[in-house]
């Protein structure tokens, strides 16, 4: 590579990193507790202890659960029902209107085996929620998501250019050499290099999947106007529903239509994830791969009949697969711990990068590069 090209790569590394560093530091710091959000919530906001029930307890009547939730909040309507298969609790989400504001409403937990409802709670607004908003949209909504997505793209550019400028430094050095005792800056340069190389693939994957996650809202919008609109096209001109049919029957229909899948959540008619006339039952499989993907079954909310069921398009699957790869929540606690260690190393990487740039007056990086090239060439 010519000296000129290397200089450009160095400038790319410097500027892409400098622009996104503060945001990435925020993302790393807020991401750390978010890795363990399940564990943290279990400590500070424990679910009621599940009642001991025989395994062969009769299936509960979901219509009774819905009626109970509506009786507890008579001025609200049901928007979603969560039925996470791995969780002994389900949740009914009610709100003043079918369409968000999402923070205006209540969550009604219920025991999936006994049907017992617990007192409705407003959606979370605690410490972890603040951390989550800082991590996802900086309390700015879509512009915040897209801003952080752009920072993720800069991170990818920074990583690629970082690998390129790494090369001349290593012409004479064994991998993972840290030259101590000469200058503190040289020592940090070597540490920055080795830590960057060790975490490269992880940072790249978490960065790219993070960028995909920032596109969640546009992706859902695309799906609503694409596949969902197609699936509900026959109902386009149907008169609005006056009363809702049985949710229980809809769930039975969905289960019968795809016996190998389990319902994960139900979007009620009129919400963003369904049409005006359907219960949209989102189902997923039991195998490790199918359990990451969702398949919506549309059930006529009046008759309880299945009207359509399709696999989600590729762009939604990309989003669904990106989520575990970003969160690190797909390999139990040891994987989360690895995620946390890598996150901490990333913080050291960011801080050392800033330090190297800050301390450049003592030993100009361009001069470093020139020196490295002279030594290597």
Partner 1 sequence: MRRGLWMIFRWPLLIGLLMALGLSSALLGDGLYDLVSWFALGLPLIIVGGVLGGRQKRRGHRMPKEHSIPL
Q: Strand, coil or helix: what is 276?
A: coil
Instruction: Please report whether residue 165 would count as binding partner 1 according to CB under 8 A.
Output: no
Measure the CA–CA gap between 162 and 332, rounded to whole angstroms: 32
- Judging by DSSP bridges, how do beta strands 262-267 and 105-111 pair with one another? unpaired
Instruction: Please report whether residue 330 would count as binding partner 1 according to CB under 8 A.
Output: yes
361, 285, 279: which is closest to 317 by C-alpha? 285
Q: Write the DSSP symbol of residue 291.
A: G
307, 251, 241: which is closest to 65 by C-alpha? 251
* The one segment of 17-25, 70-78, 167-175, 355-363 that binds partner 1 by CB under 8 A: 167-175
Q: Which is nearer to partner 1, 159 or 306 (CB)?
A: 159
Q: Write the DSSP symbol of residue 360.
A: G
**Beta-carbon neighbour count of residue 277 at 10 Å?**
22
Cα–Cα–Cα angle for 373, 375, 376, rounded to 5 degrees: 65
Q: Which is nearer to partner 1, 113 or 326 (CB)?
A: 326
List 342, 347, 351, 363, residue binding partner 1 (CB under 8 A) = 342
Instruction: Please report whether residue 175 would count as binding partner 1 according to CB under 8 A.
Output: yes
Measure the CA–CA gap between 323 and 305, rounded to whole angstroms: 32
The H-assigned helical ranges of 45-173 are 62-72, 127-136, 142-169
List 97, 125, 180, 225, residue binding partner 1 (CB under 8 A) = 180
Judged by CB under 8 A, the chain residues 232 through 291 that form the site for partner 1 are 288-289
Cα diameter, the chain: 80
Instruction: Please report whether residue 332 would count as binding partner 1 according to CB under 8 A.
Output: yes
Q: Which is nearer to partner 1, 46 or 334 (CB)?
A: 334
Q: Which is nearer to partner 1, 58 or 334 (CB)?
A: 334
Instruction: Please report whether residue 181 would count as binding partner 1 according to CB under 8 A.
Output: yes
List 19, 146, 338, 347, residue binding partner 1 (CB under 8 A) = 338
Instruction: Please report whether residue 376 would count as binding partner 1 according to CB under 8 A.
Output: yes
CB 22 within 8 A of CB 350: no
279, 331, 330: which is closest to 305 by C-alpha? 279
Q: Strand, coil or helix: what is 265?
A: strand
Nearest-approach distance from CB 266 to partner 1, in angstroms: 26
Instruction: Please report whether residue 229 would count as binding partner 1 according to CB under 8 A.
Output: no
Instruction: Please report whether residue 293 would count as binding partner 1 according to CB under 8 A.
Output: no
List 171, 184, 236, 374, residue binding partner 1 (CB under 8 A) = 171
Instruction: Give the footprint of partner 1 on this chain (CB under 8 A).
Output: 166-167, 170-173, 175-176, 178, 180-181, 191, 194, 197-198, 200-202, 205, 288-289, 292, 321, 324-325, 330-332, 334-335, 338, 341-342, 345, 376-377
């Amino acid at each position: 590579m010519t000296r000129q090209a290397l200089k450009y790569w160095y400038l790319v590394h410097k500027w892409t990193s400098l622009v996104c560093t503060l945001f990435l530091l925020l993302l790393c710091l807020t991401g750390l507790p978010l890795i363990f959000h399940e564990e943290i919530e279990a400590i500070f906001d424990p679910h009621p202890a599940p009642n001991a029930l025989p395994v062969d307890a009769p299936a509960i009547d979901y219509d009774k659960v819905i009626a109970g939730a509506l009786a507890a909040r008579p001025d609200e309507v049901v928007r979603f029902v969560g039925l996470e298969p791995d969780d002994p609790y389900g949740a009914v989400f009610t709100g003043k209107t079918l369409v968000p504001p999402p923070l205006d409403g209540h969550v009604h937990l219920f025991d999936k085996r006994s049907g017992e409802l617990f007192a409705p709670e407003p959606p979370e607004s605690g410490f972890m929620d603040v951390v989550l908003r800082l991590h996802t949209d900086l309390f700015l909504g879509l512009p915040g998501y897209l801003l952080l997505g752009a920072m993720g793209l800069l991170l990818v550019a920074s990583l690629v250019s970082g690998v390129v400028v790494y090369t001349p430094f290593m012409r004479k050095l064994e991998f993972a050499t840290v030259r101590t005792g000469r200058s503190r800056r040289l020592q940090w340069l070597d540490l920055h290099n080795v830590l960057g190389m060790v975490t490269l693939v992880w940072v790249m994957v978490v960065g790219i999947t993070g960028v995909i996650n920032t596109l969640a809202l546009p992706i859902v919008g695309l799906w609503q106007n694409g596949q969902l609109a197609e699936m509900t096209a026959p109902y386009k001109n149907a008169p609005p529903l006056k009363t809702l049919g049985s949710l229980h029957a809809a769930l039975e229909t969905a289960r019968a239509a795809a016996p190998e899948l389990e319902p994960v959540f139900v979007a009620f008619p009129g919400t963003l994830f369904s049409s005006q006339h359907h219960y949209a039952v989102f189902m997923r499989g039991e195998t490790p791969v199918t359990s990451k993907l969702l398949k919506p079954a549309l059930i006529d909310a009046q008759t309880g009949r299945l009207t359509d069921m399709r696999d989600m398009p590729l762009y939604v699957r990309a989003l669904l697969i990106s989520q575990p790869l970003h969160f690190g929540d797909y390999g139990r606690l040891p994987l989360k711990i690895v995620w946390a260690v890598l996150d901490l190393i990333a913080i050291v990487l960011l801080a050392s990068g800033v330090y190297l740039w800050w301390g450049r007056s003592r030993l100009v990086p361009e001069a470093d590069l020139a020196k490295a090239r002279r030594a290597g060439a």
